[in-house]
Amino acid sequence: MYILVINAGSSSLKYQLFDMPSDKPLCTGLIERIGTNEAFIKHKILTAEPAQTIERKGSIADHTAGLQQVLQLLLDPDTGLIHSVDEIKAVGHRVVHGGERFASATLITPAVKETIRALFPLAPLHNPINYQCIDIAEHTFPNAQQIAVFDTAFHQTMPQYAFRYALPESLYTKDGIRVYGFHGTSHKYVSEQAAVWLGKPDAKLISIHLGNGCSMTAVRAGQSIDTSMGFSPLAGLVMGTRSGDVDPAIIFHLMSTGYSPDDVNTLLNKQSGMQGLTGQSDMRDIRKALEAGDRAAALALDIYAYRIRKYIGAYAAVLNGLDALIFTAGVGENDTAMREQVCDGLDFLNINLDSEKNSIHSAGIREINRSDSAVKILVIPTNEELEIANQSYAVLSAN
Ligand SMILES: Nc1ncnc2c1ncn2[C@@H]1O[C@H](COP(=O)(O)OP(=O)(O)O)[C@@H](O)[C@H]1O
Ligand SMILES: CC(=O)OP(=O)(O)O
Ligand SMILES: [Mg+2]
């Protein structure tokens, strides 16, 4: 059975076509820098021998335009993997915010769509895009089942003392103001891989997802017990364009100087983080700036790494011990220097990185700690699409 998975992030769209239940990927693709004139699509056909890659560069205005190009590639008379839309039996969608309603994946009904829409204000960079992708997929594949897999679901195991803010109770009970946490599909996937790698189902883990959005999760025995994003994906670590943690009083101060609520929202979500500190949000560009001697880039990288180290300390305390740190997502998997900087000076926690192992790139799971390090340091490529395909298949099997 063919399941198409659509993973729309804030600036990218990733997709994979799987033959389920064998987990076999037939094609995989990525669109990056959506919303710019330098967008590009990389579409890899894995059934060809050797694998064939089709690349296109140019302007892609938004996720809708991007997804339409993906559908053309899938249905292309020469290189397409499907000849009729009905070959795809289900479409699994990443949906970032599921509120408290969804602790697991679900079939998309009009009521589910309405809930996703009601959560737009809480995930303004994500839920509207996820909703658009669902609309397009329903239209393009009218006979396929549509399934939503939520970033928030994995974090529904957090204890109340971790997910509640110190605010009047009615703001939680009536208005749903609490920590939800995000990137749950990725944290779940890599923490399960780590537990298998360690041979320890009850492992104490800190999962560090560093993409455009960045978050960390403390995982004990396969369950999320705390996470760095909060009510929205704006809290916690320094990100590509998001500030992460700031003193809320800054917001009132800005508003007293003439910022509107919308201005502050745009400032913190789109003009802050690495973008605000350096003028660029993509870590590869920031690394180039650093090489060229840019002092703002050096400081921004220090702030980015320092924030991660603070959360490692906090989560080691919350877990009362630590078996492994996991680095994942674009920056976590690829940025050797950032992993080195994060782990430097954590030897009191028995976290000891091996610089040589850290600098070797290879596919699959890698252990980059010294052999005498009590805490393992793992690089685990995330695969949110595979996790979404598996959860979607499970939903279909149960219905
Ligand atoms: N080789 C690399 N070195 C450093 N950063 C990288 C590298 N490859 C990708 N990245 C960074 O990873 C980030 C994107 O990560 P990704 O997980 O794809 O994000 P998202 O899913 O949020 O779009 C970008 O900041 C990009 O610069
Ligand atoms: C929730 C979130 O921040 O997602 P992304 O990293 O894909 O923007
Ligand atoms: Mg992502």
Is 151 considered catalytic here? Answer: yes
CA 162, CA 180: separation in Å to the nearest integer? 10
Q: Whose CA is nearest to atom 6 of ligand 2?
A: 213
CA 265, CA 271: separation in Å to the nearest integer? 9
CA 73, CA 81: separation in Å to the nearest integer? 8
Contact in structure between 218 and 206 (CB atoms under 8 Å): yes
Query: Binding residue per annotation — 338?
Result: no
pLDDT at 35: 85
How deeply is 251 buried, as exposed, middle or buried, from its count of CB atoms within 10 A (0-12, 13-18, 19+)?
middle
Per-residue pLDDT of the chain (399 residues; tens, 9 = 90+): 999 999 998 778 999 999 999 999 999 999 988 888 889 999 999 998 899 999 999 999 988 899 889 999 999 999 999 999 999 999 999 999 999 999 999 999 999 999 999 999 888 889 999 999 999 999 999 999 999 999 999 999 999 999 999 999 999 999 999 999 999 999 999 999 999 999 999 999 999 999 999 999 999 999 999 999 999 999 999 999 999 999 999 999 999 999 999 999 999 999 999 999 999 999 999 999 999 999 999 999 999 999 999 999 999 999 999 999 999 999 999 999 999 999 999 999 999 999 999 999 989 999 999 999 999 999 999 999 999 999 999 999 998
Domain 197-379 indexed as CATH 2.40.170.20: no
Strand spans (E) along 9-50: 13-19, 24-32, 39-45
How high is the ipTM of this complex? Answer: 0.98
State the amino acid at position 203 in one-letter form. Answer: A
Q: What is the DSSP letter of 351?
A: B
Q: Where do runs of H (alpha helix) occur along the chain?
A: 63-75, 110-118, 127-140, 160-163, 169-173, 184-198, 249-256, 261-270, 273-278, 283-291, 295-319, 329-334, 336-343, 355-359, 384-398
| Nearest CA-CA partner of 30 in 393, 383, 380 | 383
CA of 331 to the centre of ligand 1 (A): 5
Looking at the chain, the domain(s) classified CATH 3.30.420.40 span: 2-150, 197-379
233 lines ligand 1 (CB under 6 A): no
CA of 82 to the centre of ligand 3 (A): 26
> In the CATH scheme, what is the homologous superfamily, with its name and number, of domain 2-150?
ATPase, nucleotide binding domain (3.30.420.40)
Beta bridge partners of 149: 94
CA of 353 to the centre of ligand 2 (A): 27
Give CA torsion, residues 391, 393, 396, 397, to 10 deg. -110
User: Long-range contact list for 118-123, CB < 8 A, 24+ apart?
Assistant: 122/97, 122/180, 122/231, 122/232, 123/96, 123/97, 123/182, 123/232, 123/233
Q: Select from 7, 33, 93, 126 the residue to mutate for testing ligand 2; criterion: most ligand atoms less than 8 Å from CB.
A: 126
Q: Whose CA is nearest to atom 3 of ligand 2?
A: 213
Nearest ligand 1 atom to the CA of 12 is 23
Count of other CB atoms within 10 angstroms of residue 244? 23
Q: Maximum CA pair distance of the chain?
A: 62
**Predicted TM-score (pTM) of this structure:** 0.96
C-alpha distances in Å from residue 138, one per residue of 147, 198, 347, 398: 11, 41, 52, 21
